[in-house]
Amino acid sequence: MGEGRQIVASLDSVTKKYGEVTALCDVSLNVGAGELLALLGPNGAGKTTSVRLMLGLSKPLSGKVQVFGRDPRIVSARRRIGAMLQVAKVPETLKVKEHIDLFRSYYANPLSLRTTLEAAGLEGMENRLFGALSGGQKQRVLFALAICGNPDLLFLDEPTVGLDITTRHLIWQQIRNLVRQGRTVVLTTHYLEEVDALASRVVVLNHGAIVAEGTSAEMKARTAQRKIRCVTRLRPSEVESIALVSGVAAYEDRLEIRTMQVEPVLRELFLRDPAITGLEVSNSTLEDAFLKIVETGNQEVQKEMTA
Amino acid sequence: MNSHTATATAGAITNASSGSALRIYRTEAKYEFMKTLRQPAYVIPTLTFPLVFYLMFGVIFGGKQTIGSVNLATYLLATYATFGVMGASLFGFAVGVAMERGYGWLQVKRASPMPPLAYLAAKAVMSTVFCAILVVGLYVLGTEFGGVHLPLTKFLGLAGIVIAGSIVFCAMGLVIGCYTAPNAAPAVVNVIFLPMSFCAGLWLPLQLLPKVLQHAALLLPPYHLAQLALHQVGFKATGAAWQHVAALAAFTVVFLLLARRGFKRDDVSVNA
């Protein structure tokens, strides 16, 4: 995590089981003040379990969970925390402003109703019953409830799942603003685009363990960096023999060449086939990095299981 | 709206009095009541069933009949008051908790700094308000149309007994809410509520029922509350008052312990 940042939340050698299923296995994780940490991983990797533990909704089998130096299962330890969780149904017969007013009452220094409505993009909807809102508007109310207490630490469990692009960007913008104001955000998500757009640090979980950790850029650097696609008369085996090429795949009429250094490889390609066409060069995406990390992890797990 | 958000910290902090325990309890109770008042599925059956049943059996059919020294309308005022508070409390807690727990809303509230007791207290206050409306309604029907002569002080005592006693049904509803799925809860309550009302002698005087049921009634919480209510309106109840109070207290404790287990099952322990 960030150098010398104050730690606001931590898991210390935490193991959590649900019955026979191990949700987290000896996981240690620190959240530094002011950072935007993304927890990434496939379903069942332990992202939501980590968040539930840090919110005091769940108790570890072993290890220690702390938020602002205290056990989050104590009510008063949660006074500086806001949370947006996945919920199937919210009481529909309260108005937007009533929901917000109630959650504001739990905190010592809440935002005003007006500020909360503005920040969540709910102006003009305060008198609507929750049940009369669209899906995107409902999600904004949940976001409003998370921020209305003016929290220093915010947990967002898949905040933009199923949202239209406008609402998603609105919430991203709000998350950036909160971080700019010095708040700490812990985000779980399936959307790699979301991580790329927001996160200062990424932790990848798989099978209840941390499999990778770093900045978004560092993550990408962990995988074969860039891709060259082109139509060429050269055979894949020939391209593979070029220095610095780390992999070649043939797709119909074109080749996909992976390499850490694009320029020398391109020069060599042009020398060998001046008639090369359809050239495309792309950076590796976070998605490539993510898939690679998870795939490697799975292979290791399989090896362990067969061993 | 982006221009607004940069100002979110400055000038946003208001109302330094909020966050205090009293304010949380008050706000929680207020919105719990408003939320419920806007749910016809709760309000209409809760208020109309006991009033309509009382009007039919107590006032229209039972107007001139007596049981011992007490007229039937007065007898049934006590038992329908018990029936009414039982319905309001059972449905309020069981269905409310099952829905909010099962659909994940309770978890959102428990991730916030809301004291868990505020959630339960708010439901109890909401249920008490509906109980009070109902008991007053029964009293008005009885005195206006059923020939009930119950002094106001006696009536207030009756209201106090059934409302205080309704805590046992709140606890019972909480247990159902903790263990049943959201869409199953209303059916489960009905399956328990209606037979239990009949067997505890709330619809018809227990003396008219078979002997077996009269003995079995001892195992039902509403029987004990009805006996206390009957005693208050001048009907000579079976068993001493303290025995009924002790039975109700014991039921309440058992239900609360079961409910506590139910909450633990969800892996969120209650903290002060």
- B155-190 confidence digits (pLDDT tens): 999 999 999 999 999 999 999 999 999 999 999 999
Whether residues A206 and A278 share a domain: the answer is no
Considering only residues B52 and B268, tell me which one the structure prediction assigns the higher pLDDT. Answer: B52
Give how many domains chain A has, as a whole number. 2
Task: Give the per-residue pLDDT at B17.
Answer: 44
- B104–A89: do the CB atoms touch at under 8 Å? yes
Chain A closest-CA separation from residue B188 CA (Å):
21
CATH number of the domain that residue A259 is part of: 3.30.70
Taking CA atoms, what residue in A is nearest to B98? A89
Give the confidence band of A291 by pLDDT, cuts at 50, 70, 90: confident
- CA torsion, points B224, B228, B234, B238, in degrees to nearest 10? 40
Whether residues A196 and A233 share a domain: the answer is no
Domain end point (choices A197, A220, A243): A220
- Supply the ipTM of this predicted assembly: 0.86
pTM of the predicted protein model: 0.83
Say how many CB pairs under 8 Å bridge A and B. 145
Q: Evaluate whether A228 touches A269 at the Cβ level (below 8 Å).
A: yes
Domain presence at residue A185 = yes
Q: What are phi and psi of B263, to 5 degrees?
A: -65, -40
Give the residue from B4, B5, B15, B268 with the most A CB atoms within 10 Å of its CB, the best one to mutate: B5
Q: Please give the average per-residue pLDDT across B258-265, as a whole number.
A: 80
Residue B265 has pLDDT above 70, yes or no: no
Q: How far apart are CA A16 and CA A21, in angstroms?
A: 9
Domain presence at residue A101 = yes
Give the residue from A73, A106, A175, A181 with the most B CB atoms within 10 Å of its CB, the best one to mutate: A106
Residues of B in contact with A108 (CB under 8 A): 16, 18-19
Query: Residue A261 is part of which domain span?
Result: 224-283
Whether residues A149 and A49 share a domain: the answer is yes
Residues of B in contact with A112 (CB under 8 A): 12, 14-15
Task: Give the per-residue pLDDT at B271.
Answer: 32
Taking the CA atoms of A162, A166, A171 and A176 in sequence, report the sign of the dihedral they define: positive
Whether residues A81 and A214 share a domain: the answer is yes
Domain presence at residue A306 = no
By Cβ distance, the residue of A75, A110, A177 closest to B15 is: A110
Chain B closest-CA separation from residue A57 CA (Å):
5
Whether residues A92 and A230 share a domain: the answer is no
Proportion of chain A above pLDDT 70, given as a percent: 91
Q: Please give the average per-residue pLDDT across A137-150, as a whole number.
A: 95
Give the confidence band of B13 by pLDDT, cuts at 50, 70, 90: very low
Domain presence at residue A304 = no
Q: For residues B169-194, b (16+ Cβ closer than 10 Å) or e, as one string?
A: bbbbbbbbbbbbebeebbebbeebbe
Task: Give the per-residue pLDDT at A301.
Answer: 56
Domain presence at residue A297 = no
Whether residues A196 and A228 share a domain: the answer is no
